[in-house]
Amino acid sequence: MSAATCAGLDAADAIRFPGAAMTEAIDAVTTPAAAGLAVTPLVMAGPPPVDAAPPAAALPPPQVEGDTNDSWQDLLRILIYALLIALVERTLFFQPYNIPSGSMEDTLLVGDFLFVEKFAYGYSRYSLPFGRYLTSFGRVWTHDPARGDVAVFALPSEPERDFIKRIVGLPGDRVQVVHGVLYLNGALIPKIRVSDYVEVENGYLQHIARYRETLPGGKSYYVLDREADGVNDNTPVYTVPAGHYFMMGDNRDDSDDSRGVVGYLPAENLIGRAEFKFFSIDERKTQLFTFWKWPSAIRWHRLFRAID
């Protein structure tokens, strides 16, 4: 076969023509034009292309119809368990509170966050979430408070409001304040002047007279006297009834306590004993969303401090 004869044909095509006669016939035609024929180049046809399957490792895992539902059920179960644990812990053991007013300065400041021990005095309906709407069942697992404890309680006239004050009078005690000095059962409670409490009010420094007061039994703490012979600095004698307590704020001239709105506090209204501060922030220096100011507003020296 000549070179001209093989134009448009490859080696594979050549083997499709058997026999010498056929070879001579093709040799007789020197060019396609000489034979009056149009020769179309042959192209080998292969099988139709098939998209290659991805490697087995690249295939996503088969989906089971119940998988999504099971995942949501697991998440819901975890959330329910977490809520139940938090509810039990908050109800029976420790509950966090924050201080919104200055009635306990300088023991507690506005912006202090603290934990209250719920089991310190036993439990009443006020220990339970929404327990204010339950019928009274008294107290269970009762433990008597000590004089000088800082306690959280439900305000008798408005049980939905929680107050925090110091217990200064126990059942049967006679309590009186004369010229800003506390008397218990006719005996003067020692009150020693110490360094002033300094605060900033409207951009000005203010010095407040501060004293260390020591109750029978040795409990000692600071109290403030903002105004000499203020409204609550002279009181009648209060005799605390059985099953009740007499509460006072450490900021003696700026506290709604048993000398006024609180009155004698029923033991049932006690919620727990304040134990320690875990956080404190000066709310005058920052807001919730101005987080970049938080580091300078946090009172670092008050964090994780026991409450006297």
**pLDDT tens figures, 228-245:** 888 899 999 999 999 999
Q: Which domain holds residue 25?
A: 1-44
What residues form DSSP beta bridges with 250? none
- Domain membership of residue 69 (yes or no) is no
pLDDT winner (highest mean) among 10-14, 51-55, 120-124, 281-285:
120-124
Last residue of a domain, which of 9, 28, 44?
44
| Same domain assignment for residues 32 and 115 | no
Mean predicted confidence (pLDDT) in 223-231: 92
Q: pLDDT tens digits, residue range 149-178?
A: 999 999 999 999 999 999 999 999 999 999
| Same domain assignment for residues 37 and 110 | no
- Domain membership of residue 72 (yes or no) is no
Q: How far apart are CA 228 and CA 248, in angstroms?
A: 17
Query: Known catalytic residues?
Result: 103, 165
Q: How far apart are CA 183 and CA 154, in angstroms?
A: 26
* 12: pLDDT strictly greater than 80: no
- Domain membership of residue 109 (yes or no) is yes
- Domain membership of residue 161 (yes or no) is yes
| Same domain assignment for residues 37 and 157 | no
| Same domain assignment for residues 234 and 291 | yes
What's the half-sphere exposure (Cβ side, CA atoms, 13 Å) at 114? Answer: 26
| Average pLDDT, rounded, for the chain | 81
Tell me the residue type at 97. Answer: Y
Q: How would residue 126 be classed by pLDDT, with cut points 50, 70 and 90?
A: very high
| Same domain assignment for residues 148 and 220 | yes
| Same domain assignment for residues 221 and 98 | yes
| Same domain assignment for residues 22 and 146 | no
What pLDDT score does 199 carry? 92
SS3 104: coil
For residues 259 and 237, the answer to whether their CB atoms sit within 8 Å is no
For residues 143 and 122, the answer to whether their CB atoms sit within 8 Å is yes
Mean predicted confidence (pLDDT) in 87-115: 89
- Domain membership of residue 120 (yes or no) is yes
Q: What is the pTM of this model?
A: 0.72
Mean predicted confidence (pLDDT) in 187-200: 95
| Same domain assignment for residues 36 and 145 | no
Report the CATH number that the domain containing residue 231 is assigned in CATH.
2.10.109.10
CA 114 and chain centroid, separation = 13
Q: How would residue 68 be classed by pLDDT, with cut points 50, 70 and 90?
A: low
| Same domain assignment for residues 115 and 262 | yes
CB atoms within 10 A of CB 59: 9
| Same domain assignment for residues 22 and 153 | no
Instruction: Give the residue with greater pLDDT, 230 vs 258.
Output: 258
Number of domains in the chain: 2
